A and B are shown apart, each in its own frame.
Chain A
Amino acid sequence: MNGDLDDWLAPRQRAATEPTAEELFAKTHGALRCGGHLRWLGRTAAALAFLTVGYGAGLATVPTETRTVIVEVLAAPIPVPEPVPPPEVVPEPTATQLEMRAELSDDPVEIAALYRRAGDQYLNTDRDYPRATRCYRLHLRALNRPNPAPEPDDSWLLASLKPQSR
């Protein structure tokens, strides 16, 4: 080895081949911008990769259960007519019931009409001539008319009793 250690470690003189600051700037500025762009691209690519992986993982972990599709069908309500209850059939009172109502009534006209209907039923429905005769006589008594004239709708029994009531 030639020379002393101090000589080898001493500062060196600048060589003519060394690049100047201006030359260094010209050669490195492009790398600086490229480096910035590469960093931006790298970050963007990393973000996209992260999102893609996350999306893929999300798809992979979605439970495969059957999806229930609820279809709601909206329909206008069709008016349904209220069922009209059949007219209440009032059973025709029996002759006995009519005779009872006549006995409880205070109205002479109503009493006469009820005994008339009771007499007709006894006669036409029940063929019960004695009770029909009795109801017809009570009818004529309730009418309280002297010489009642026979009417076209009078039954044969009532028509026969009218002359007797004079």
Chain B
Amino acid sequence: MTLPAGSDVEAALVRAAGRGDAAAWRHLLEANAPRVAAYVRWRCAGLPDLTADAIQQTWLEAARHLGRFDPARGSFSDWIGGIVRKVMLAEVRKWRRYRYRHRSFDGGPEPGRTPAEATGEAEAVVRALAELPAEYEEILRAKYLDGRSVRDIAESLRISPKAVESRLTRAREAFRTAFPQLGVET
């Protein structure tokens, strides 16, 4: 099930769901759930429990604040992407607060690696992505999660391909900078 992002149909669905229309909300949820789940999974570095909690929290926040969605400011997908970022920030803060009580977000080890090694690196990715500026996180997402080409990203962001490559380079450097500092210390 797909909905044209930013279309009048999508805006009408959001309005109907905001009035409590269950069918409209189900349609919105089913149309956007796979993409939202993929994004959350990417932001959670594949940590399963954190991913499950973040997905549920994201849709819960969306349901509570659906009235704040403004179709004139972007698509529903973009709006819920913002909610994912806020949810992830909250999760990371929560993790920092209780890091000694809850040692890890959970997650199974990859073949040939100990559980502690795999979990520690995944947590570092989560924290590194949460620390990145929004424009860096956005371009890394477009490149690595969505698999879009530089030309495609340039068209959607309305900047030149050269500017996209430059921004990608800076984003990678920022991620590399954040990753070892956050990951190794644990």
Q: Which residues of A contact B (CB under 8 A)?
A: 1-3, 5-6, 8-19, 21, 24-25, 27-29, 31-36, 39
Contacts and interface: CB of A to CB of B under 8 A. Distances in A.
Contacts of A32: 17, 20, 22, 25, 63-64, 66
Contacts of B19: 36
Interface string B44-73: 111011011001100110111111000000
B33 A21 contact: yes
A3 to B, nearest CB: 7
B41 interface: yes
A21 B29 contact: yes
Chain B contact patch, size range: 35 or more
Interface in B1-50: 17-20, 22, 25-26, 29-30, 33, 37-38, 41-42, 44-46, 48-49
**What does DSSP make chain B's interface, helix, strand, loop or mixed?**
helix
Contacts of A6: 144
B30 A21 contact: yes
A24 B144 CA distance: 26
A28 B180 CA distance: 37
A135 B30 CA distance: 144
Given A2-B113, A12-B46, A36 B30 contact: no
A9 B146 CA distance: 11
Nearest to A35: B64
Contacts of B64: 31-32, 34-35
Given A15-B48, A17-B49, A21-B30, 20 more contacts: A2-B117, A6-B144, A9-B42, A9-B125, A9-B145, A10-B144, A11-B147, A12-B41, A17-B52, A18-B41, A24-B29, A27-B59, A28-B25, A28-B62, A31-B64, A32-B20, A32-B25, A32-B63, A35-B63, A36-B19
